[in-house]
Amino acid sequence: MDFVSRRNWFFLLSLIIMIASLVSLIAPNGLKAGLEFTGGSSITLDFSDSPSQEALRSQLAELGHADAVIQNAGAGSYFIRTRTLKEAVGSQPSERESIITALETAFNTDIEIPDFFSVSPSIATETVRNAFFIVVIAALAILLYMTWAFRRVPSPFRYGVSAIVALIHDVLVVMGIFSLCGRYFDLEVNAMFIAGILTIIGYSVHDTIVVFDRVRENLIRGIGPNLGSTINISIQDTIGRSLNTSLTLLFTILALMIFGGPTILDFLVVLLIGIIVGTYSSIWIASQILLVWENGDLGRIIRRPFSFRGN
């Protein structure tokens, strides 16, 4: 298969997906942020005699939590998310304890708390900032490493930049698809999401390096008459390995999604999307960007609107 001659179709497909991802991200509630990024408290309540969701919502409103998000977890259990609950001060009980006492009295039932999690707004802001810096530092480290690793071929910097552009493509598409999943399947951006993004960054770059390394070897050996032919041969040499590795990972992730429970579901969804997108970009996007740059096609595309304006 001649991958290189069809690169414009691959670019068009990626452009359409990226535009759709941007629209989904820019639209209201593009990404549903979890507590780690917004601040607040989440608590799971197990009632011995479960009240209705409407009655629970009404009682929480009376306690000053009218904006609380309440989800029925089944079997007399409710998941509640609200603003950050205050801790105990001196002899004054914590806000969580006051809520539990009030609910037990109102509904005449015993309540157990199997799970409680709270993040202050200041910590949430710091988490957002740290997540951004982590991704930027990872991208710069990848760029520097690839420039050094491919120093024996012409324009090694372009290999690193091409990998970073493909990486941005992957992250944007993953975030866009995840935002769509958040709208319909109630998935949140949390710490597991960031871990998934970082994992995808590593996997995508690894897959891209496999292709680029074969391009480097074939250039040194003079396998093809030009760069386009060499890239096409290199993709054919590595596509079997890339697909087999990705399929193995996908089967593992699907098994974890079925049997692993909801705790790591956000992480697994990011991995599932990212592995598919990362495999696609490493084969059909990263090397094609390198070719377009080396051939000067990118400069001609940029200069074309200005040449029309001059005429």
Measured distance CA(34)–CA(27) in Å, rounded: 18
The set of residues, in sequence order, having a beta carbon less than 8 Å from that of 87 and lying 6+ positions away, is: 94, 95
For the segment 34-52, what is each residue's pLDDT rounded down to a tens digit?
A: 766 767 788 888 888 878 8
Measured distance CA(88)–CA(95) in Å, rounded: 7
**Spatial contact of 172 and 139, defined as CB atoms under 8 Å apart:** no
Half-sphere exposure of 129 (CA within 13 A, CB side): 6
From the list 253, 233, 242, the residue with the least C-alpha distance to 204 is: 242
Q: Which two tokens stand for residue 101?
A: 């006492």
**Spatial contact of 266 and 193, defined as CB atoms under 8 Å apart:** yes
Q: Which two tokens stand for residue 5?
A: 């001659």
**Spatial contact of 169 and 284, defined as CB atoms under 8 Å apart:** no
Measured distance CA(79)–CA(67) in Å, rounded: 14
Measured distance CA(84)–CA(96) in Å, rounded: 10
Whether the model clears a pTM of 0.95, i.e. scores above it, the answer is no
**Spatial contact of 286 and 162, defined as CB atoms under 8 Å apart:** yes
Q: At 116, phi and psi to the nearest 5?
A: -145, 135
The set of residues, in sequence order, having a beta carbon less than 8 Å from that of 131 and lying 6+ positions away, is: 194
The set of residues, in sequence order, having a beta carbon less than 8 Å from that of 33 and lying 6+ positions away, is: 188, 189
pLDDT the model gives residue 305: 46
Mean pLDDT of residues grouped by 10 in the chain (311 residues)?
80 90 83 71 83 85 81 80 76 80 85 77 70 83 86 84 89 88 76 83 85 87 82 87 88 85 78 90 87 72 50 47
pLDDT the model gives residue 308: 43
Half-sphere exposure of 311 (CA within 13 A, CB side): 5
Helix pair angle (286-295, 7-26), 10° resolution: 120
Measured distance CA(31)–CA(269) in Å, rounded: 14
Which stretch of DSSP H or E encloses residue 117? strand 111-119
**Spatial contact of 224 and 233, defined as CB atoms under 8 Å apart:** yes
pLDDT the model gives residue 16: 92
For the segment 245-274, what is each residue's pLDDT rounded down to a tens digit?
A: 889 989 999 888 888 766 677 788 889 999
Helix pair angle (191-221, 286-295), 10° resolution: 50
